[in-house]
Amino acid sequence: MKINDFKLERYFAQHEFTAKYLFSSSDCDGFEMKYVLEQASDNEMGLWEKQTLGYTESEGHPLLRKAIMQYYNSGNLTNVVVASPGELNFITMNVLLQAGDHVVVVSPCYQSLSEVVKSLNCEISYWQPDLGSWEFDPAELETLIRSNTRLIILNFPHNPTGAYLKRQQLDEIICIAEKHNAWIFSDEMYRKLMISEMPELPPISDIYVKGISLWGTSKTFGLAGLRIGWLVAQDKAFLNKVVAFKDYLSICSSAPSEILAMIALNHPEKFIQPNLKKIKANIEVFSAFTLHHNELFTFIPPKAGSVAFVKMNIHEPALDFCNRLVEETGIMTVPGEMFHYPGKFLRVGFGRRNFPEVLEKLETYLDQTTRI
Ligand SMILES: Cc1ncc(COP(=O)(O)O)c(C=O)c1O
């Protein structure tokens, strides 16, 4: 199997731990261990202290799976498999797809959603949003369906645009999938980060028998370092195949991470609310900034999630701008090129508490430079 480099992750690898400021991260600030443990009940603290560091169950700790299933209306512990989100994406594509299958994927997208499909020699079509609104139209998705379409890959809240769907649109997509007997893999990594007043969508696994939901602790809970994610699906045969494939990768998850993830999932208000508050405040600051610099930036505020994809009116490619910015100011940003997207775009991440400070530094740079 040959797979192309993951451009976004390689770009992060180059700058994330050396740049002074991060302006494009999609995760929220990581909570401290101390904070997570302070939220634990006596029972949970007992589990944490007595946890041994042997292997754990391949499907995930039963108490973690129980904590996860509080967020789903359909299914029980046997409908969940725990692993890192990237691993679950990789396994799902390998389990579901064969060379020659056709897949429709949202675009622009987090590269692994399309790249693993391509590595399996599948045909791929990209479902793109309207440029002026980032609205995705299900009627357009339908035009992409072929007789060999096996899978539709969704990602709402959407990275990088912050787009979201109305319930009726999701139902239309399910009708299309049903008609063609296709699976839906729904990357719901940013679930519950609701910015607008739009009603929250149910996870796909609750409403479609061939629906597979992916979520994890990195974005919504501010716990990316745990490396914990999970799949929920109604189809047990599919889930059994996922667990069997996992034997060739991590086999099981990190025991301490499983307990910490369980604590967070059992106390969501202590994790999600602070993140949402920070994201909303940062969006407000950024809206004012883009209004002031409307000759340079076109900002469509995200409807959900922690990121936005901002159009830049500059002369050079976005990648050149971002490279120069990090060299001259220490501010790391992610250009649209990392999403294989044409045009000049910048992904902006709202989940960091130093966002206003970094924005000030960006503004000083823009005021001083003569090169854009
Ligand atoms: C849409 C999407 N899916 C999956 C992932 C992977 O999540 P994790 O970093 O927790 O492995 C990310 C991370 O940025 C993402 O944005």
| Tens of pLDDT, residues 303-344 | 999 999 999 999 999 999 999 999 999 999 999 999 999 899
Q: Is 224 in the pocket of ligand 1 (CB under 6 A)?
A: yes
Residue 1 falls inside a structural domain: no
Instruction: Tell whether the model's pLDDT for residue 91 goes beyond 90.
Output: yes
- If asked whether residues 260 and 287 sit together in one domain, one would say no
Q: Is 85 in the pocket of ligand 1 (CB under 6 A)?
A: yes
Task: Please identify, among 267, 294, 312, the residue that sits at the C-terminal boundary of a domain.
Answer: 267
The per-residue pLDDT for range 162-181, each reduced to its tens digit, is 999 999 999 999 999 999 99
- If asked whether residues 57 and 162 sit together in one domain, one would say yes
Residue 114 belongs to domain with CATH number = 3.40.640.10
Number of domains in the chain: 2
- If asked whether residues 12 and 154 sit together in one domain, one would say no
Instruction: Tell whether the model's pLDDT for residue 39 goes beyond 70.
Output: yes
Residues 6+ apart with CB under 8 A from 301: 162, 195, 196, 283, 287, 308
Rounded-to-10 torsion of CA 102, 96, 337, 215: 140
Instruction: Tell whether the model's pLDDT for residue 212 goes beyond 80.
Output: yes
Hey, what are 90's tokens? 């990789």
Give the burial string for 158-176 (b: 16+ CB within 10 Å, else e). bbbbbbbbeeebbebbbeb
Hey, what are 86's tokens? 């990237």
Instruction: Tell whether the model's pLDDT for residue 268 goes beyond 70.
Output: yes
Residue 38 falls inside a structural domain: no
- If asked whether residues 194 and 325 sit together in one domain, one would say no
Closest CA to 63 of 223, 253, 236, 269: 253
Query: Over the chain, what is the mean pLDDT?
Result: 96
Hey, what are 271's tokens? 């994790």
Q: What is the mean pLDDT of residues 232-244?
A: 98
Q: Are 90 and 116 in contact (CB under 8 A)?
A: yes
CA separation, residue 85 to residues 113, 311, 316 (Å) = 11, 29, 35
Q: Is 159 in the pocket of ligand 1 (CB under 6 A)?
A: yes
pLDDT at 342: 86
Containing structural domain, residue 92 = 43-267
Residue 329 belongs to domain with CATH number = 3.90.1150.10
Question: How far, in Å, is the centroid of ligand 1 from the Cα of 95?
Answer: 19
Mutate to test the pocket of ligand 1, among 156, 188, 189 (most ligand atoms within 8 A of CB): 189
pLDDT at 369: 82
The per-residue pLDDT for range 335-367, each reduced to its tens digit, is 999 999 989 999 999 999 999 999 999 999 998
Task: Identify the H or E element spanning 22.
Answer: strand 21-22
Question: How far, in Å, is the centroid of ligand 1 from the Cα of 26?
Answer: 8
| Helical axes 255-266 vs 42-50, angle rounded to 10° | 170
Question: How far, in Å, is the centroid of ligand 1 from the Cα of 30?
Answer: 15
- Residue located nearest, by CA, to atom 7 of ligand 1: 85
Residues of the chain with pLDDT > 90: what percent? Answer: 94
**Residue 371 — very low, low, confident or very high, per pLDDT cuts 50/70/90?**
low
Q: Is 115 in the pocket of ligand 1 (CB under 6 A)?
A: no
The model's pTM: 0.96
Q: Cα–Cα distance between 293 and 358 in angstroms, integer?
A: 16
Q: Cα–Cα distance between 310 and 161 in angstroms, integer?
A: 8
Q: Cα–Cα distance between 141 and 104 in angstroms, integer?
A: 8
Q: Which residues pair with 152 in a beta bridge?
A: 104, 184
pLDDT at 1: 81
Residues 6+ apart with CB under 8 A from 25: 16, 349, 351, 352
Task: Tell which wins on pLDDT, 245 or 368.
Answer: 245
Residue 2 falls inside a structural domain: no
Hey, what are 100's tokens? 């020659």
- If asked whether residues 346 and 208 sit together in one domain, one would say no
pLDDT at 191: 98
Q: Is 153 in the pocket of ligand 1 (CB under 6 A)?
A: no
Residue type at position 135: E
Task: Please identify, among 211, 238, 267, the residue that sits at the C-terminal boundary of a domain.
Answer: 267
Q: Are 270 and 32 in contact (CB under 8 A)?
A: no
- If asked whether residues 195 and 256 sit together in one domain, one would say yes
Q: Is 220 in the pocket of ligand 1 (CB under 6 A)?
A: no
pLDDT at 103: 98
Q: Are 292 and 279 in contact (CB under 8 A)?
A: no
